[in-house]
Amino acid sequence: RKSKKPSLLVVNKADNTQREEETAEFYKFGLGEPVPISALSGRNTGDLLDRIVEGLGNKLKKKPKEKKVDFDEAIDEEAIDIKPKKLTKNKSIKVAIIGRPNVGKSSLFNALLDQNRAIVSDIPGTTRDIISTVFKYKEENIEFIDTAGLRRRGKIGKTTPATKKEGRIERYSAMRSLKSIDEADICLILVDAMEGIVAQDLHLAGFVKDSYKGIIIIINKVDEAENVNPETYLNVLKRKFDFLPFASAIFLSAKTGKNVKKVFDILLEIKKAREVEIPTPKLNKFLEKITIKNPPAGLKNKKPKMKYITQTGINPPSFTIFTSYANLIHFSYERYIENQLRKEFDFNGTSIRIVFRSKQGDKSGNR
């Protein structure tokens, strides 16, 4: 009230009609009509959204239409008519610790911070909520996020009637974990050295890659896996995670602290790679060189011709390539360009995004 800012009084956990009626007592705060909702079930959240929109009033503005590009003119100019997204570097590195239940995520979280912030137990599913802490290392702020273990999609929330509430909590925890991955810059994917690499580890890694994150594969519990040969295990790791050739890997023990501190330097290296900015002229010389060496294939009378490349963002590094017949670019050729980008520039440990665009009026579309 003292700030004189517009406000809404939102009363959560109003899961049924009776609880909605009980929210009347909140009128005593003098903040107007309370809005009863249930964040867990989504009850009345639509009404809340309507109240928010109503309160914003004229502050809501339509997004300006995207400026059309004169493709033919753009490729002849020193600088293209499309301005890259603002290349702003993050103030802190967001790092999500993810993996299956009971692979040691909370133990690693505590070991990295050198304090007991998260509850550690041998019982799978101990972590239910998201815990995050900012840690300073070499003048860089690193926000570590401990997430709930993610089981296979078909198993999430599948419980007996006696534990139906547990099932709902698990589904909610899984949603929070996936949201943390989406908001993170780098993900630490934990693998249990004792159990080896299973299908769910690969599924999670694929999800992280498709989200264009930095990736470190952590092989945890090496102190308990005395018979594991690191060199042999690394070969298996490379074979099974063959879709992540750029990912860093480290063997450690969250329990004893072995190699835990090495994670910090790898994180800073990946952050640096995700913030690399390449001048457009340098990129176009690179594109010309690799397309002469290996031009893209196409159909009989329709062969894509690479015209122009520009960097459109960092964190993750993002590139737009202007070409004819963008829809005919095969995924293998996209992989070729990505591999050449990694070879030419420093993108170790991070995914990169490549978008192909056709010129204005070309019916072949974008990719």
325: left (phi over 0), alpha (psi -120 to 50) or beta: left
Two tokens at 137?
């290392």
What integer pLDDT is reported at residue 199 of this predicted model?
87
Cα angle: 161, vertex 162, 163; to 5 degrees: 90
**Residue 311, C-beta contacts closer than 8 angstroms, at least 6 positions apart:** 84, 87, 277, 278, 280, 283, 317, 318, 319
Q: How far is CA 263 from CA 58, 217, 248, 259, in A?
A: 48, 10, 10, 7
Cα 338 from Cα 325, distance rounded (Å): 19
Two tokens at 19?
């609880």
What integer pLDDT is reported at residue 68 of this predicted model?
47
Spell out the domain ranges in the chain.
Answer: 10-59, 71-84+276-357, 92-274
Cα 94 from Cα 213, distance rounded (Å): 10
What integer pLDDT is reported at residue 149 of this predicted model?
64
Place of tokens 């033919």: 72
Extract the runs of DSSP E, i.e. beta strands, from 170-267.
186-192, 214-220, 248-251
Domain 92-274 has CATH 3.40.50.300: yes
Say if 71-84+276-357 and 92-274 have the same CATH topology.
no
Digitized pLDDT (tens) for each residue of the chain, 367 residues in all: 677 788 889 999 888 877 887 887 887 777 888 889 988 877 888 788 878 877 776 555 554 454 444 434 443 433 333 344 445 566 789 999 988 888 888 889 889 888 654 434 443 444 445 678 888 888 899 999 888 767 555 444 445 444 554 445 456 566 777 888 888 999 999 999 888 898 888 988 998 999 999 999 999 988 887 777 888 888 999 999 999 999 999 999 998 999 999 999 999 999 999 999 999 999 999 999 999 999 998 887 888 999 999 999 999 999 999 999 888 999 999 999 999 999 999 899 999 999 999 865 555 556 6
**Residue 243, C-beta contacts closer than 8 angstroms, at least 6 positions apart:** 205, 206, 209
Two tokens at 346?
């420093």
What integer pLDDT is reported at residue 34 of this predicted model?
87
What integer pLDDT is reported at residue 335 of this predicted model?
93
What integer pLDDT is reported at residue 126 of this predicted model?
43
- Between 331-344 and 280-293, two packed helices, what is the crossing angle to 10 degrees? 120
Among 47, 50, 41, residue whose Cα is nearest residue 13: 41
Two tokens at 220?
């945890």
What integer pLDDT is reported at residue 163 of this predicted model?
53
The CATH homologous superfamily for domain 71-84+276-357 is K homology (KH) domain (3.30.300.20)
What integer pLDDT is reported at residue 151 of this predicted model?
54
What integer pLDDT is reported at residue 278 of this predicted model?
94
What does pTM read for this prediction? 0.67
Cα 365 from Cα 367, distance rounded (Å): 7
Backbone dihedral angles phi then psi of residue 320, each to the nearest 5 degrees: -115, 130
